[in-house]
Amino acid sequence: MKKKLLLNIFVDESGNFSIKDDDNPLYIVAFVCVDPKDDNEVAINKFHNNLKHLEGGDHFVHVGNLVRGEKPYGNLKREDRWKLFINLFLFSKYAKFQIFIPKTIKSNVKENILVALTNSITKMIDDNLDCFDDYDELIIHYDYGQHDLSLVISSAFISRFNKCKIIKTIQNESPFMQLADLYAYISLLAYKANKGYLTKSENAFFGGIKNFKKNYLKQLNEKIIHKN
């Protein structure tokens, strides 16, 4: 069987390697896989056109800051922030892509995170090797925000695929980078919601845990291939 030419993989994470974050020792990575042959032009154009008409739409959609009302959305009302979120949420519904989310890492020790993260991403690749191996070339888009993560990704993918490269792609350059941010953040919220808690700002933004699970998490989960 002839291989497809190219698979774009957009990567973002929720969490960091700081040992100071004792209250939230979680590390989540989302891989958004997009085949350039899939017709996403209409969905992308609609996403960008909607942003132009929304308050605060001159910024890319960074979900965590949006929910918490932090920079650059600090001066926006919650209703306006919610509209920005819904624009990205609807893009996730109509765009064509696949999501892989390796196992969530729970540790506040950097060395433990790195080992667990390497094992988790390696297992994700091995479990879905037929999907990645369908393509002649893999291009991984990453903004290099976490140097350690970029090394893990490089090692995991480049060691397995002959034609694989990592290029720097910042979030505002592609709505699929923003989708990676969305899925990483939503996976964090899902973990917290399953433990029975969300912060005050998260509860207010999503209308409580029940509403979050029913109206947001359920639909977003439909496109996730590899889950915890």
Give the pTM.
0.90
Is 164 in contact with 135 (CB distance < 8 Å)? no
Judge whether residue 215 has pLDDT over 50.
Answer: yes
Return the structure tokens found at 143.
Answer: 């903004």
Cα separation values, 5 from 135, 140, 195, Å: 6, 14, 42
Q: Write out the chain in H/E/C secondary structure.
A: CCCEEEEEEEEEEECCCCCCCCCCCEEEEEEEEECCCCCCHHHHHHHHHHHHCCCCCCCCCCHHHHHHCCCCCCCCCHHHHHHHHHHHHHHHHHCCCEEECCCCEECCCHHHHHHHHHHHHHHHHHHCHHHHCCEEEEEEEECCCCHHHHHHHHHHHHCCCCCEEEEECCHHHCHHHHHHHHHHHHHHHHHHHHCCCCCHHHHHHHCCHHHHHHHHHHHHHCCEEECC
Average confidence score pLDDT of the chain: 88
Is 202 in contact with 77 (CB distance < 8 Å)? no
For the domain spanning 4-226, the CATH number is: 3.30.420
162-191 per-position pLDDT tens digit? 899 999 888 888 999 999 999 999 998 998
pLDDT of residue 222: 86
Judge whether residue 46 has pLDDT over 90.
Answer: yes
pLDDT of residue 5: 87
Chain-centre distance of CA 193, in angstroms? 18
Binned at pLDDT 50, 70 and 90, residue 1 comes out as low
Least confident of 80-84, 87-91, 137-141, 160-164: 160-164
How does strand 26-34 pair with strand 224-226?
A: unpaired
Judge whether residue 114 has pLDDT over 80.
Answer: yes
The position carrying tokens 């973990």 is: 191
Judge whether residue 2 has pLDDT over 70.
Answer: no
Is 182 in contact with 63 (CB distance < 8 Å)? yes
The position carrying tokens 């132009």 is: 52
Judge whether residue 223 has pLDDT over 50.
Answer: yes
Per-domain boundaries in the chain: 4-226
Binned at pLDDT 50, 70 and 90, residue 23 comes out as low
Judge whether residue 226 has pLDDT over 70.
Answer: no
Binned at pLDDT 50, 70 and 90, residue 213 comes out as very high
